[in-house]
Structure 1
Amino acid sequence: MHFKMIVVFIEDEKTDAVMDAARKAGATGATVINNARGEGMTQSKTFFGLNLETQRDVILFLVEEHLSRHIIEEINKVGEFDDKPGTGIAFQIDVEDAVGVASQQAKLTDEVKEFL
Protein backbone atom coordinates (compact mmCIF):
# COMPACT_ATOMS: atom_id res chain seq x y z
CA MET A 1 0.00 0.00 0.00
CA HIS A 2 1.31 3.46 -0.92
CA PHE A 3 0.68 6.63 1.02
CA LYS A 4 0.69 10.38 0.54
CA MET A 5 1.07 12.98 3.24
CA ILE A 6 -1.33 15.89 2.98
CA VAL A 7 -0.05 18.98 4.76
CA VAL A 8 -2.59 21.69 5.55
CA PHE A 9 -1.93 25.18 6.93
CA ILE A 10 -5.30 26.56 8.05
CA GLU A 11 -6.81 29.23 10.28
CA ASP A 12 -7.43 27.61 13.64
CA GLU A 13 -11.19 28.22 13.62
CA LYS A 14 -11.49 26.02 10.50
CA THR A 15 -9.40 23.10 11.81
CA ASP A 16 -12.36 21.01 13.01
CA ALA A 17 -14.28 21.54 9.75
CA VAL A 18 -11.24 20.48 7.69
CA MET A 19 -10.72 17.40 9.88
CA ASP A 20 -14.40 16.40 9.48
CA ALA A 21 -14.31 16.87 5.69
CA ALA A 22 -11.10 14.85 5.36
CA ARG A 23 -12.54 12.00 7.47
CA LYS A 24 -15.70 11.89 5.34
CA ALA A 25 -13.49 11.75 2.23
CA GLY A 26 -11.49 8.77 3.54
CA ALA A 27 -8.76 10.04 5.88
CA THR A 28 -8.32 7.75 8.88
CA GLY A 29 -6.70 10.24 11.24
CA ALA A 30 -4.45 13.28 11.52
CA THR A 31 -1.90 15.10 13.61
CA VAL A 32 -2.62 18.74 14.47
CA ILE A 33 0.19 21.13 15.34
CA ASN A 34 -1.14 24.28 17.00
CA ASN A 35 0.20 27.83 17.06
CA ALA A 36 1.84 28.02 13.64
CA ARG A 37 2.50 31.34 11.98
CA GLY A 38 2.48 32.00 8.26
CA GLU A 39 2.99 34.92 5.96
CA GLY A 40 1.85 35.27 2.37
CA MET A 41 2.82 37.63 -0.43
CA THR A 42 2.06 40.69 1.67
CA GLN A 43 3.71 41.43 4.98
CA SER A 44 1.55 40.92 8.05
CA LYS A 45 0.01 43.90 9.83
CA THR A 46 1.12 44.94 13.27
CA PHE A 47 -0.27 47.28 15.87
CA PHE A 48 2.35 48.67 18.24
CA GLY A 49 4.51 45.63 17.53
CA LEU A 50 1.72 43.09 18.11
CA ASN A 51 0.89 40.74 15.27
CA LEU A 52 -2.70 41.00 13.99
CA GLU A 53 -2.69 37.71 12.07
CA THR A 54 -5.12 34.95 12.93
CA GLN A 55 -3.68 31.86 14.56
CA ARG A 56 -2.94 28.93 12.24
CA ASP A 57 -2.76 25.19 12.68
CA VAL A 58 -0.78 22.64 10.71
CA ILE A 59 -2.64 19.40 10.02
CA LEU A 60 -0.80 16.31 8.79
CA PHE A 61 -2.79 13.51 7.14
CA LEU A 62 -1.22 10.20 6.09
CA VAL A 63 -3.63 8.86 3.47
CA GLU A 64 -3.78 6.10 0.88
CA GLU A 65 -2.63 7.46 -2.48
CA HIS A 66 -5.84 6.60 -4.37
CA LEU A 67 -7.88 8.65 -1.90
CA SER A 68 -5.49 11.60 -1.64
CA ARG A 69 -6.82 13.74 -4.50
CA HIS A 70 -10.42 13.47 -3.32
CA ILE A 71 -9.40 14.29 0.25
CA ILE A 72 -7.38 17.36 -0.75
CA GLU A 73 -10.26 18.62 -2.92
CA GLU A 74 -12.66 18.35 0.03
CA ILE A 75 -10.15 20.15 2.26
CA ASN A 76 -9.92 22.90 -0.35
CA LYS A 77 -13.71 23.35 -0.41
CA VAL A 78 -14.05 23.61 3.37
CA GLY A 79 -10.93 25.74 3.80
CA GLU A 80 -11.95 28.06 0.93
CA PHE A 81 -8.32 28.25 -0.18
CA ASP A 82 -9.09 29.11 -3.82
CA ASP A 83 -12.00 31.42 -2.96
CA LYS A 84 -10.38 33.60 -0.28
CA PRO A 85 -6.64 34.40 -0.57
CA GLY A 86 -4.73 34.12 2.68
CA THR A 87 -7.00 31.50 4.26
CA GLY A 88 -4.50 28.66 3.99
CA ILE A 89 -2.82 26.15 1.76
CA ALA A 90 -2.78 22.37 1.34
CA PHE A 91 -0.38 20.13 -0.58
CA GLN A 92 0.55 16.48 -0.79
CA ILE A 93 3.91 14.75 -0.62
CA ASP A 94 4.84 11.21 -1.66
CA VAL A 95 5.66 8.94 1.27
CA GLU A 96 8.34 6.37 0.58
CA ASP A 97 7.61 4.17 3.59
CA ALA A 98 5.46 4.18 6.71
CA VAL A 99 5.21 2.06 9.84
CA GLY A 100 2.57 2.05 12.55
CA VAL A 101 -0.31 1.99 10.09
CA ALA A 102 -1.10 -1.75 10.10
CA SER A 103 -4.44 -1.24 11.86
CA GLN A 104 -5.49 1.28 9.20
CA GLN A 105 -4.41 -0.88 6.26
CA ALA A 106 -7.24 -3.39 6.68
CA LYS A 107 -9.85 -0.62 6.59
CA LEU A 108 -8.16 1.15 3.69
CA THR A 109 -7.79 -2.04 1.63
CA ASP A 110 -11.56 -2.44 1.49
CA GLU A 111 -12.05 1.22 0.55
CA VAL A 112 -9.55 1.29 -2.32
CA LYS A 113 -10.38 -2.09 -3.93
CA GLU A 114 -12.33 -0.27 -6.63
CA PHE A 115 -9.19 1.69 -7.64
CA LEU A 116 -6.96 -1.40 -7.91
Structure 2
Amino acid sequence: KNNDFYTDSAGRSFDSGGQGRHAMESQFDAKSIEAQRFAKDLCAKLRQAALQNRFEKLYVVAAPAFLGVLRECLDDNAKTRIAGEIPKDVARQAPEDIRSKLPDYL
Protein backbone atom coordinates (compact mmCIF):
# COMPACT_ATOMS: atom_id res chain seq x y z
CA LYS A 1 0.00 0.00 0.00
CA ASN A 2 1.13 3.52 -0.68
CA ASN A 3 0.55 4.44 2.98
CA ASP A 4 3.11 1.83 4.07
CA PHE A 5 5.85 4.10 2.73
CA TYR A 6 4.93 6.93 5.09
CA THR A 7 5.55 7.03 8.84
CA ASP A 8 2.90 9.64 9.64
CA SER A 9 -0.74 9.80 8.76
CA ALA A 10 -1.91 12.42 6.31
CA GLY A 11 -2.06 16.02 7.48
CA ARG A 12 -5.33 17.83 8.05
CA SER A 13 -6.56 21.01 6.43
CA PHE A 14 -9.56 23.33 6.66
CA ASP A 15 -11.74 23.91 3.63
CA SER A 16 -11.11 27.27 1.99
CA GLY A 17 -14.71 28.35 2.36
CA GLY A 18 -16.22 26.83 5.48
CA GLN A 19 -15.75 24.86 8.63
CA GLY A 20 -14.98 21.48 7.04
CA ARG A 21 -11.73 19.66 7.59
CA HIS A 22 -10.22 16.91 5.49
CA ALA A 23 -7.09 14.82 5.18
CA MET A 24 -4.49 16.05 2.75
CA GLU A 25 -3.18 13.53 0.24
CA SER A 26 0.45 13.26 -0.77
CA GLN A 27 1.31 14.66 -4.19
CA PHE A 28 3.73 11.77 -4.71
CA ASP A 29 3.06 8.11 -5.32
CA ALA A 30 5.60 6.50 -3.00
CA LYS A 31 5.11 3.05 -4.51
CA SER A 32 5.96 4.35 -7.98
CA ILE A 33 8.96 6.31 -6.69
CA GLU A 34 10.26 3.24 -4.85
CA ALA A 35 9.80 1.08 -7.98
CA GLN A 36 11.81 3.59 -10.03
CA ARG A 37 14.57 3.67 -7.40
CA PHE A 38 14.73 -0.13 -7.30
CA ALA A 39 14.76 -0.32 -11.12
CA LYS A 40 17.66 2.15 -11.31
CA ASP A 41 19.63 0.15 -8.74
CA LEU A 42 18.93 -3.07 -10.62
CA CYS A 43 19.87 -1.49 -13.95
CA ALA A 44 23.18 -0.28 -12.51
CA LYS A 45 23.98 -3.82 -11.30
CA LEU A 46 23.00 -5.34 -14.65
CA ARG A 47 25.04 -2.72 -16.51
CA GLN A 48 28.11 -3.57 -14.42
CA ALA A 49 27.57 -7.33 -14.81
CA ALA A 50 27.19 -6.96 -18.59
CA LEU A 51 30.41 -4.92 -18.81
CA GLN A 52 32.20 -7.68 -16.92
CA ASN A 53 30.64 -10.34 -19.21
CA ARG A 54 29.15 -12.10 -16.21
CA PHE A 55 26.16 -13.23 -18.29
CA GLU A 56 25.43 -13.87 -21.95
CA LYS A 57 21.65 -14.09 -21.81
CA LEU A 58 19.15 -12.48 -19.51
CA TYR A 59 15.58 -13.60 -18.97
CA VAL A 60 13.45 -11.04 -17.17
CA VAL A 61 10.34 -11.97 -15.18
CA ALA A 62 8.59 -8.92 -13.75
CA ALA A 63 5.20 -7.31 -13.34
CA PRO A 64 4.23 -5.55 -16.58
CA ALA A 65 4.41 -2.04 -15.09
CA PHE A 66 7.83 -2.70 -13.54
CA LEU A 67 9.05 -4.26 -16.77
CA GLY A 68 8.32 -0.95 -18.51
CA VAL A 69 10.28 0.99 -15.88
CA LEU A 70 13.15 -1.48 -16.21
CA ARG A 71 13.26 -1.17 -20.01
CA GLU A 72 13.63 2.60 -19.71
CA CYS A 73 16.76 2.47 -17.57
CA LEU A 74 18.64 -0.50 -19.07
CA ASP A 75 21.64 0.46 -21.19
CA ASP A 76 22.09 -0.93 -24.71
CA ASN A 77 24.73 -3.47 -23.64
CA ALA A 78 22.34 -5.10 -21.17
CA LYS A 79 19.33 -4.77 -23.51
CA THR A 80 21.07 -6.70 -26.28
CA ARG A 81 21.55 -9.62 -23.86
CA ILE A 82 17.85 -9.93 -23.03
CA ALA A 83 16.82 -13.29 -24.45
CA GLY A 84 13.25 -13.13 -23.20
CA GLU A 85 10.73 -11.33 -21.05
CA ILE A 86 7.82 -12.73 -19.09
CA PRO A 87 5.40 -10.01 -17.96
CA LYS A 88 4.06 -11.65 -14.78
CA ASP A 89 3.99 -10.48 -11.19
CA VAL A 90 5.44 -13.44 -9.29
CA ALA A 91 6.98 -11.57 -6.36
CA ARG A 92 4.75 -13.11 -3.68
CA GLN A 93 4.58 -16.61 -5.12
CA ALA A 94 6.35 -19.73 -3.95
CA PRO A 95 9.37 -20.86 -6.02
CA GLU A 96 7.56 -23.95 -7.32
CA ASP A 97 4.64 -21.78 -8.52
CA ILE A 98 7.07 -19.44 -10.29
CA ARG A 99 8.85 -22.40 -11.90
CA SER A 100 5.52 -23.68 -13.28
CA LYS A 101 5.00 -20.37 -15.12
CA LEU A 102 8.41 -20.44 -16.84
CA PRO A 103 9.16 -22.19 -20.13
CA ASP A 104 10.88 -25.57 -19.86
CA TYR A 105 14.12 -24.29 -21.43
CA LEU A 106 14.76 -21.97 -18.47
Structure-2-length-normalised TM-score: 0.27
Higher alpha-carbon Rg: 2
Calculate the TM-score normalised by the size of structure 1.
Answer: 0.25
Greater helix content: 2
Which structure shows the higher strand fraction? 1
